[in-house]
Amino acid sequence: MCNRCPMRIRRLPWRVRVALVTIPAAAAMFAALALAPRHDGPSAGAAPFAAETRCIPIDPITSVGSLNTLASKVRGGAEFQGADVGADVTLQDGRRLWVFGDTLRAPSFKGQRFVRNSMLVFQSGCADVVLPADHGALIPDRADGVGYWPMSIAKVERTGYDLVGVAVQRVRSADQPDGAGAFTNLGPAIALFIVRRGDTPQLLRVADIGADSAGTTRPTWGAASEVHDGWVYLYGTSNPQKKLVFGFSLQVARVRPDDILTTSRWRYWDGSHWQKSPDRAATLIPADGGVSQTLSVFEKDGRWFAVSKRNEFLGTDLVVWSSPGPTGPFTAGAPLAKIPSEAGGGTLRYMPLAHPDLLPEPGTVVVSYSQNDTDAAKVDNNPFLYRPRFLRVDLPR
pLDDT digit string, tens, across residues 282-308 = 999 999 999 999 999 999 999 999 999
CATH architecture of the domain with range 10-36+49-394: 5 Propeller (2.115)
Percent of the chain whose pLDDT exceeds 70: 86
Residue 201, pLDDT > 60, answer yes
CB 164 within 8 A of CB 153: yes
Q: How confident is the model at residue 260 (pLDDT cuts 50, 70, 90)?
A: confident
CA angle 370, 250, 85 (to 5 degrees): 15
Residue 27, pLDDT > 60, answer no
pLDDT recorded at residue 174: 67
Q: How confident is the model at residue 188 (pLDDT cuts 50, 70, 90)?
A: very high
> Nearest-CA neighbor of 309 among 348, 262, 282?
348
Alpha helices for the chain (secondary structure H): 27-34, 64-73, 376-381
> Nearest-CA neighbor of 319 among 303, 297, 302, 346?
297
Q: How confident is the model at residue 182 (pLDDT cuts 50, 70, 90)?
A: low
Cα separation, 25 vs 351, whole angstroms:
29
Cα separation, 221 vs 151, whole angstroms:
10
Residue 261, pLDDT > 90, answer no
Mean pLDDT for the stretch of residues 211-225: 94
Q: How confident is the model at residue 99 (pLDDT cuts 50, 70, 90)?
A: very high
Per residue in 134-160, pLDDT (tens digit) is 999 999 999 999 999 999 998 888 899
Instruction: For residue 144, give every residue at least 6 positions away whose Cβ sits within 8 Å of its Cβ, in sequence order, or none.
Output: none
Q: How confident is the model at residue 357 (pLDDT cuts 50, 70, 90)?
A: very high
pLDDT recorded at residue 295: 97
Residue 69, pLDDT > 50, answer yes
CB 53 within 8 A of CB 65: no
Mean pLDDT for the stretch of residues 37-49: 44
Mean pLDDT of all residues belonging to the chain: 86
Q: What is the 3-state secondary structure (H, E, C) of 176-245?
A: CCCCCEEEEEEEEEEEEEEEECCCCCEEEEEEECCCCCCCCCCCEEEEEEEEECCEEEEEEEECCCCCCC
CB 168 within 8 A of CB 197: no
